[in-house]
Structure formats: C-alpha cells, structure tokens
Structure 1
C-alpha cells in the first residue's frame, strides 16, 4: 500500500526511478547534526551567561579550584566567543543543506558542498586557534598557579592532567568531526545523486 505522506517516485518510461540513498540519508543526518549544533550553541551560551554561579557550585570549598576556573575562563573567553560564532554559522549551513536534501531541491548538493567546505575550514581554524591562543593561554595559567604552591590534591591532579587532555581534545576533536563533511563531499558528489536531482529535483 502506498504511503500517502511520501512523495511518489518519479517514473521514466513507466518504470519508477529509485532515489539514490545518500540524498535521504544525508538529509536526515544534516538535520540531526544541525539540531545537536543548536543545542550546543544554546548550552554554551547559557554557560557564559551563568558562568559565575556554575563556577561557585563546581568549586565549592576549594579556593584553588575556583581560582583555576576563573583564570581559565578569562584566558579563553575570546576563543570561546569565536568558537560559538563558528558553530552557529556551520549549524545554519548544515540545517539549510539538510532541508534542501529532504525536499529534493535541485541545488541541494551545492548547498551541502558549501556546508562541507565551510565546516572543514572551521575545523582547521579551530585547530589553529587552539594551538596559537587557547593552549598557550591555558598553559600559562597552569604554570602560574602551579608555581604558587601545590594547593589541594584535586587541584594538583587537575593541573597535571589538563595540559595533555586539552591538547589532545583541542586537536583530535576537530579532526574526528571533519570525517562527516568529507563523507558528504565524496558521496553526494557522485554522478547518480547529481543526475537524479538535476532531472527530478524540485
């Protein structure tokens, strides 16, 4: 039985033309990741707005931890704002591309390709900012606080581990997140996908 909510498949010579799977798959994934991006932007914005209350709650009873968090926030504020702006731009672009793919627009591949290039560029920019601004600023804070004394055991452990974890996450996370836009470039640029949208796209 035909689904009344699903657009009928186009026909060629009386034979239904099968829609290439990447169109629907990436359309849905674009929207899912776009939704996650919106949630992330809202969460990050909320953390900036309520940072004082959150820092007090997470470091209650430990003045050294409170000092670490305050200094880290101050040293990474600018890169945090830049990161939020980048995420917002990429999120808008992936949502736009996802809607075009789901609606089978003729320019859906172009929109997705543009998103992919911007997303990859954003990841490269994030790594550059991490290496040139975020990590040096954070390491300076860690070194200064460490020189003042050992502090609590919790703070000492934090100082000794965060340098490595921040460096790994700051570089590794953007690299891993680049896999998806690269897949978009490869799979959506295939001839069957482009031919289908050129002939049967809206």
Structure 2
C-alpha cells in the first residue's frame, strides 16, 4: 500500500471516529436522570470520580455491544425491556420522592458542606441503577448507535471509539466541571431549586416510561 493510501485510510478512520463522537454526544447530552445525578454529585464534590468512571465504563460496554451487532437481539426481547422499564420507573419515582423531600424540607438539604455524606456504595448503586435500569440506554446506545455504526462497514469500530470518546469527554466535563458552579450553590435556596427540578425530571421520565408501556 502506498504512502498516500495509508494517509487516506488514516483520515477516513479519523473522520469516522469524529462522526461517532458527534453522534454519541447527540444521544447523551440531554436532560435525563443519569445526567442530573452526575451534575448533583459534581456539585456536592462527593465520589465524583467513581460516578464518572461508572458512567463512562457503562457507555463503553453498551457502545461495544451495539457495534458488535447485538442491537437486534436486544430489540427482539421486548419482555426483558418491559421488566427493565418497570424497574427503571420505580427507581426514578423513588429518587424523585427523595429529591422532592430535600427541596420541600430545608432540614433535609444535603450540600457539599452540610449534612451527612452518602457512602460510596450507595452512590455507586444509584449510578448503576439510573444507568442500567433505563430502557432508552439500550434502544439508543445499543440499537440505534449500533445500527448507525454497522452502516460504517469496516469503520464501525472507529465509529464506536469516537462514541466512547464523546461519552468520556461529556461525563468528565459534567462531573468535574460542576465544581465551577459551587459558589452559586453556596445558598441553600439554590439546592432547593435544583432538587425540585431533579424531582420533576425524574417523575416526568418515570411517567413517560410507563406511558410507553401502556401505549
């Protein structure tokens, strides 16, 4: 293979990876349960590294599974997706109640400088639940992204690498970048507003999931 051919292959792979990065970011950069939780933990400065690592590792696994062509298998098992949907809705409702309680009761507020800190195990468990008990993560990341990556032919793994890179950049920015907003959340009222918004998001997502089943 000539030198110019090698350069062409390199540029083509880079372009495919950038396309994967852009597509991956388009899927995850949205207001959702996982992102809301990552943001809150980033503002608290509590186990941020663990939360970010779990989110990145989970996305890497899901993206790899999708690129490997297992999206069709997952889409075919509606029973499994139904169970995940019900469990996911239950987790969202429970977290919505906790967030609403913090918003409505000042004594229940927990900021980076007030109240008891949550254990690493509890934070990791919540992160895993909000990630893996979300049926949309399978439909979007595995099925949709997997089908788009398959269309790239031999470049599907470069597309997947780009998507993983996009996920890594996003969660690092969201989790560790939240520290820049801590001065704003020095006031308890700011935390009450944030928790109120998170409660509304979680509840809305839970209702949407259950309505999807009914439909």
Using the size of structure 2 for normalisation, the TM-score is 0.33
Higher RCO, 1 or 2 (CA under 8 Å, sep at least 6)? 2
Structure with the higher fraction of residues in helix conformation = 2
Structure having the higher Rg: 1
